[in-house]
Amino acid sequence: MRYLDKTKLRASICSDSFMEFLTFFWDTIVSEKFSYNWHIEFLCEEMQAVANLVFANEPKEYDLLINVPPGTTKSTICSVAFPIWTWTRMPSAKSVCGSYAHSLALDLSRRSRMIVLSEKFQKHYPQIKLCDDQNTKGHFANTQGGARFTTSVGGSVTGMHGHFLIADDPVDPMQADSEADLETANKWMGSTLPTRKVDKEVSASILIQQRLHQNDPSATWIKNGSNAESTPIRHICLPAILTEDVSPPELANNYRSNPDNLLDPKRMSLGVLNDMRKKLGELNFSGQFQQRPTPPGGAMFLIDQFRVEPVSPKMSRIVRYWDKAGSETKKACYTAGVKMGLDTEGRFWILDVVRGRWEASTREKIIKSTAESDGKGVSVYVEQEPGSSGKESAQSTVRNLAGYCIYADLPTGDKTVRARPFAVQVNGGNVLLLKSEEWNGDFVEELRYFPHSTYKDQVDACSGGFAKLTTKRKVGALV
């Protein structure tokens, strides 16, 4: 009788605490001895906070985004142990779990099932049994209505509905630069997976991944929310080495508890991290381990040096520089026209950005209407692409703006090299932004990641405009 009481007590403790459940059943899924680190307990608490509202059938407050390096037990916590722990509190709980590859998703599901089938679990939770007719490593259910479904990014989720929708590394690290793969992952995360909720108001979405690209699903969630309804997110960001990106910020104190300011000195010592940096290269290391999809030293612009002001002072000179593109498709480059000014104190201002994807005739109408709005005191420059077609396009814009100070400009050299003089002024705190909710955000984000940014049109326009503000005026429209 004493043994049974002890078993029931342990089961009750594990049901009340996901962290206790993880550590107690660790040996059923991992051969190595459990090694504690503060981030594991923190992630368990965050997962449990989301689950508690589902258990109570109360509307969720947010969806959960976790950015954490590989090798930190993230999948064991979120994809393996968590779906089974929910059964100990709500036996009818259903989880839909997906990863970038079906083989990876299946392996995580197989390990989940190992917990349920273990002698230890059955001893402590004898009421939770798997159904004989639905017991495969990719989809298994219990006799009380609970289930764990497995899928892959882009795969079918027909017939699946979950109280918990868990996406674990939806992008393959080896394919992170593939626009097609990123588009598939973002579409699946934003349009497909959210439709598989048991209850739209209650079911929770959880995204766990290492950062891989400035347009990965994490970036989409941060910018737009986790679905079409723009559900708020709680963002947990845990780089391997302390940076100002740690979120929530108070977690920085946990990093400072060790000499090297590391997330997990046991699993990822400074020596291990330095070896990974050499193996992966700075760009990949920055994304996967530091949760910055561009290296701190690789990005050219120190965007923290920007100051945003509600009004601008008197300008000694203003230019509008256009970097043109000729397509309106979603994958096309943007046309961008950046309006830059030089004030009487020698500071540079970004006064306005007009940016979009337009076919040629619409683009030319917008360029003309922008010139009319700016006024004839603003000199206009249009970048001339190499070759005869580039020359003809520039000539067309010059004719379109007859009556304005319009110049065609044929820049030379690499985009990165051309951007350096402007970057020097930005990094020195000598470039200010006129406050605008319409363009400030996208503008800063492109500069944040340049030269690794997906699009470079705004930087190109800034480079051209800055060059014109810092050189003598030309006379006449040269093509």
Query: What is the Cα–Cα distance from 163 to 204, expressed in whole angstroms?
Result: 6
The DSSP H or E segment spanning 415 is helix 415-427
What strands, in cross-sheet order, belong to the sheet with 204-209?
130-135, 139-142, 147-152, 94-99, 164-168, 204-209, 63-67, 233-237
Per-residue confidence (pLDDT) for residue 308, from 0 to 100: 96
Per-residue confidence (pLDDT) for residue 154, from 0 to 100: 82
Domain coordinates of the chain in residue numbers? 2-238, 303-469
> What contacts 331, CB < 8 A, 6 or more positions away?
179
Give me the torsion for CA of 90, 108, 99, 155, rounded to 10°.
Answer: -80
Token pair 């700075």 is at which residue?
A: 282
Cβ contact 339:351 at 8 Å: yes
Q: How would you write the pLDDT of the chain (479 residues) with one tens digit per residue? A: 455 589 999 999 999 999 999 999 999 999 999 999 999 999 999 999 999 999 999 999 999 999 999 999 999 999 999 999 999 999 999 999 999 998 999 999 999 999 999 999 999 999 999 999 887 888 999 999 999 999 998 887 778 899 999 999 999 888 877 778 888 898 888 888 888 999 999 999 999 999 988 889 999 899 888 776 778 999 999 999 999 999 999 999 999 999 999 999 999 999 999 999 888 877 788 889 999 887 555 568 888 899 999 999 999 999 999 999 866 565 678 999 999 999 999 999 999 999 999 999 999 999 999 999 999 999 999 999 888 888 899 999 999 999 999 999 998 888 888 998 999 999 899 999 999 999 999 999 899 888 878 889 999 999 999 999 998 654 444 33
Separation of CA 348 from chain center? 30
Closest CA to 212 of 285, 300, 122, 313: 285
Per-residue confidence (pLDDT) for residue 5, from 0 to 100: 84
Q: In the 3-class helix/strand/coil scheme, how is 464-479 assigned residue by residue? A: HHHHHHCCCCCCCCCC
pTM over 0.75: no
Domain range 2-238, its CATH number among 3.90.350, 3.40.50, 1.20.1530, 3.30.40: 3.40.50
Strands 348-356 and 431-434: parallel
Per-residue confidence (pLDDT) for residue 217, from 0 to 100: 93
* Shared fold status for 2-238 and 303-469: no
Per-residue confidence (pLDDT) for residue 300, from 0 to 100: 81
Asked whether the bond before 451 is cis by omega within 30 degrees of 0, the reply is yes
The counts of H helices and E strands in the chain are 17, 15
Strands 335-343 and 139-142: unpaired
For domain 303-469, the CATH architecture is: 2-Layer Sandwich (3.30)
Per-residue confidence (pLDDT) for residue 191, from 0 to 100: 83
Query: What is the Cα–Cα distance from 259 to 427, expressed in whole angstroms?
Result: 30
Per-residue confidence (pLDDT) for residue 328, from 0 to 100: 58
**Cβ–Cβ contacts within 10 Å for residue 341, how many?**
23
Query: What is the Cα–Cα distance from 170 to 178, expressed in whole angstroms?
Result: 13
